[in-house]
Amino acid sequence: MPQAKCAGVAALYAAWGAGQLALDVQAGLSAPANLALPGRPQHPELVSPRQVKPRSMRTPEGRAILIHALAHIEFNAINLALDAIWRFPDMPRAYYEDWLQVAAEEAYHFSLLAAHLQTMGFDYGDFPAHNSLWDMAEKTQGDVLARIALVPRTMEARGLDAAPPVRAKLAQAGDQAAAEILDIIMRDEIGHVAIGNRWFGWLCEQRALDPIATFAELAQQHKAPVMRGPFNLPARRAAGFSEAELALFVDVVGGA
């Protein structure tokens, strides 16, 4: 059950904060390649992005489909943060603390959206969803640098660009409660992308790599989605993207 995962993550974060857990950064954990992702519910049905229903703001069901899509992103983000913790050993202690905080905040976001979805007469799992975010996690499971470059700094950073227009549409449709949830998510997601930027910079420094050239190489190697504007430049600046990176984004798409 998604609610059980959220409760478990909240309990884990609380136990860590209370000093009740130990951390072995050198522990190398592994799982069989065919093992299903822990905590994934039977629903929603996962389909190609092209098969996801349109999200019209004109009908209650259309708005519910949008809220459901946002909830699915946040649920995947819980797994992404937890995966970043257990999969990659030998990182500094602060790395694991950062991603545990992210996991707890993503669980909170999911809980807010799932509860709001219920007020609309629907549950998480009622609509199909796509798996693009987790697909990139699987592509980058062999290297922490690739994971940090292409999940928080790429896939999740796209949320910084998408959130403001989505929030505006929800508010215009009269769903102020959903708009306020988006405000909370946006606030926290800037911090999550900032964590990704911080550890990407640290890893590049450790490996004596140029951040911009390395990012471009990893994006090409792992077939990351093509960057499309407009970009939320103030939010990206707040999340720690450099001016050189922002200029590159704008150049790629021909405008901000």
pLDDT digits (tens, 9 = 90+) for 133-153: 788 888 898 999 999 999 999
pLDDT at 241 over 90: yes
In contact, 78 and 9? CB cutoff 8 Å: yes
Domain edges within the chain: 2-10+53-253
pLDDT tens for 164-219 read 999 999 999 999 999 999 999 999 999 999 999 999 999 999 999 999 999 999 99
**pTM across the whole model:** 0.92
**pLDDT grade, residue 54 (50/70/90)?**
low
The mean pLDDT value for 94-118 works out to 97
Decide which of 1.10.3210, 1.10.3470, 1.10.10, 1.20.1260 is the CATH code for 2-10+53-253. 1.20.1260
Fill in the DSSP letter of residue 47. Answer: -
Helix, coil or strand: residue 7 = helix
